[in-house]
C-alpha cells in the first residue's frame, strides 16, 4: 500500500528490490515486477505496479474498499508485528 500523500506517478517503486531484467510493461502502462522474498530464491512473487496512474488504480481501489467493508481483519491481542 502506498502513502496516501504520494500521488504523483512513478516509473518504478522505490522501496523494493526487483529483478530489473524481468520487468514487463503492459500496453496500458501497468508493470509487473518480480521479487524474491528475503533473498530466498525459492519464494518468488510478482508485484502488479500501476505507477500511481488513477485509471489503472480503479479496480484495486474498489477491491480495497470491499476488503475494508466486508472482511474482518483481526490479530491476537498484544500482537504488534508488521508481518
Residue 27 has what pLDDT? 92
Q: List the chain pLDDT tens, one digit each, 83 residues.
A: 556 666 667 666 655 556 666 788 889 988 888 877 766 667 778 888 887 788 888 888 898 889 889 988 787 887 776 65
Domain ranges, ordered by start, for the chain:
1-75
Cβ atoms of 47 and 35 within 8 Å: the answer is yes
Residue 31 has what pLDDT? 86
Residue 82 has what pLDDT? 63
34: its cell numbers: 518480480
Amino acid at each position: 500500500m502506498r502513502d496516501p500523500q504520494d500521488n504523483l506517478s512513478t516509473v518504478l517503486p522505490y522501496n523494493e528490490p526487483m529483478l530489473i531484467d524481468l520487468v514487463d510493461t503492459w500496453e496500458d502502462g501497468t508493470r509487473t515486477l518480480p521479487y524474491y522474498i528475503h533473498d530466498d530464491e525459492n519464494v518468488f512473487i510478482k508485484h502488479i505496479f500501476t505507477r500511481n496512474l488513477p485509471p489503472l488504480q480503479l479496480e484495486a481501489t474498489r477491491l480495497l474498499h470491499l476488503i475494508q467493508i466486508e472482511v474482518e481483519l483481526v490479530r491476537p491481542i498484544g500482537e504488534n508485528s508488521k508481518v
